[in-house]
Amino acid sequence: MNFIETRGNDGQKPTSISFSQAILSPMSSFGGIYSPEYLPTLREAFLTDHVNSGYKVLAKDLLTAFEVDIDEAVIDEALALYDKFDDPSNPVPVVKVYDDLYVSELFHGPTRAFKDMALQPFGKVLSAVAQARNEKYLILAATSGDTGPAALETFKNRDNVQVACLYPDGGTSDVQRLQMVTENAANLKVIGIHGDFDDAQTALKSLLTSEKFNAALQKHDISLSAANSVNFGRIIFQTIYHVYSYLELVRQGAIQMGEQVYLNVPSGNFGNALGGYYAMKMGLPVKQIHIASNNNNVLTRFINTGAYDLRTSSVIPTTSPAMDILKSSNVERILFDLFGAERTKELMLQLDNEKYYQLNSDELAQVQSIFAADFCTDQEGLDYIKQAFAVNYLMCPHTATCFKVYDTKRQDKSIKTIAYATAEWTKFSPNIALAITGEKPEHDQQALQMIAEQAGVTVPTQIAELFNKEIAQKTLVDKTAIETAILDFLNQ
């Protein structure tokens, strides 16, 4: 399968490229990204054949359906990394919370967040491709809190790759920050910036397309790639767990094969939702995809009105900081799939230049036939955490936003909902402690202990050890100095 450009071709880049080329060079003409030329079809026979398959078998067969040009041995080694999750036989537990609400827990990997689901195998694949081509790559990552730790974890000490990770200073939880700044592998650089996630992501996209920056890298014989979900290597792995979660409901007897479900996705950069959209398009029986936002509710307004409007918006800090995002990169792939390259280019360039675009009524109807959306305030999120804890379910503030959409957007309450838990409670403990006890501890360690005692659980070793590690990454710069900081790292 080849991959094509979301904004059309500029006459300089090839009109289509392979999967391996797309993960190495994720940016396409006119500032666009790559999407698959077509999607494989998953008929009911495929789903039936995989009801009793383990996660790795399902993942490999889905990658085969995409016809990725990666050696089978590399794929096997990449998927074997799921064996390091809490339960190798079930890396994505699907837990019943209410009779018609099941939570797919995507956080059982090494950094306790859903980004491990894609980045653990992706790091192995990209490094292997780079080694096979005898090329060296700088991997850029911009993070609102989860991508950064997961990217650093998967790429540390891998051959032929170095990583520069950008995070907004003060815009992540303490645990997320510690997961990044305590990494000390020689091929990793963590850079805090004075700004928000959109500033970090804008800098990443600018550097990926900067001729000056790429020329500077070429002096080191280094090429440039990205670990954010602009890279389809992330998205392909994020499609798998939607299929697995559906099959898990079949295995549990919650639904019959072929029965439709709602997918309920907390959304920041829209990669998780895009994976669900692709699974739906490929044939997964999905009635509708419900998008949950926090007070940064640009996506809610877009899906409800067709207007993507950033003209008067600025990022609002919330209790679900990984979703504190205004410009969601993967909406572009939805536009491309629905409306084609010419219209996508028109809309995205208008957003780039004017911070605004508006879908017409027919386009909005197409979007709303697939998606519905609502947003959850901080206080509502705390209330949902408390309600779930009362029925013995402990969740993070991002997962809590799904419960608001579960309440407001189900048109047919006979249909089961799969909601996606994107992070473990340990990463946002002060606000969770506030929700379940009424008190907000001053420090994460105190909050972790308080929740562990209340819930009768143990703080995972990966989290507990963070507070005793040395801070190895101390760089903090203005967003205008990012390029200089990265080049200084490469010149060391």
107-128: per-residue pLDDT in tens? 999 999 999 999 999 999 999 9
Mean pLDDT on 211-232: 94
**Confidence (pLDDT) at 249:** 98
Q: Is 157 left (phi over 0), alpha (psi -120 to 50) or beta?
A: left
Quote the distance between the C-alpha of residue 101 and its chain's center.
Answer: 22
| 360-384 average pLDDT score | 98
Rounded Cα distance between 2 and 17, Å, is 5
Query: Residue 425 — very low, low, confident or very high, per pLDDT cuts 50/70/90?
Result: very high
Does residue 147 fall inside a structural domain? no
CA 86/CA 94 separation, integer angstroms: 14
Task: Report the CATH number that the domain containing residue 403 is assigned in CATH.
Answer: 3.40.50.1100
pLDDT at 50 over 90: yes
Q: Would you say residue 431 lies in a domain? A: yes
Residue 100 domain-assigned?
yes
> Mean pLDDT, the chain, as a whole number?
96
The per-residue pLDDT for range 167-193, each reduced to its tens digit, is 999 999 999 999 999 999 999 999 999
pLDDT reported for residue 212:
95
Domain contains 67: no
pLDDT band at 442 (very low <50, low <70, confident <90, very high): confident
Residue 185: both structure tokens together = 């592998």
Whether 192 is in a domain gets the answer no
Domain-located, residue 143: no
Q: What's the domain count of the chain?
A: 1
* pLDDT for 492: 84
Assess if residue 483 is contained within a domain: no
**Is residue 133 in some structural domain?**
no
Q: What is the pLDDT of residues 299-331, one digit of tens each?
A: 999 999 999 999 999 999 999 998 999 999 999
Work out the average pLDDT over 37-56: 96
pLDDT at 351 over 90: yes
The share of the chain scoring above pLDDT 90, in percent, equals 97
| Segment 139-161 mean pLDDT | 95
Query: In terms of residue numbers, what domain contains 463?
Result: 75-112+233-467
pLDDT above 90 for 73:
yes
Is the pLDDT assigned to residue 41 strictly greater than 90?
Answer: yes
The mean per-residue pLDDT over the stretch 274-293 comes to 98
pTM for the model: 0.96
* Residue 325: per-residue pLDDT: 92
Please give the Cα distance from 193 to 321 (Å, whole number): 16
Q: For position 479, what pLDDT does the model report?
A: 92
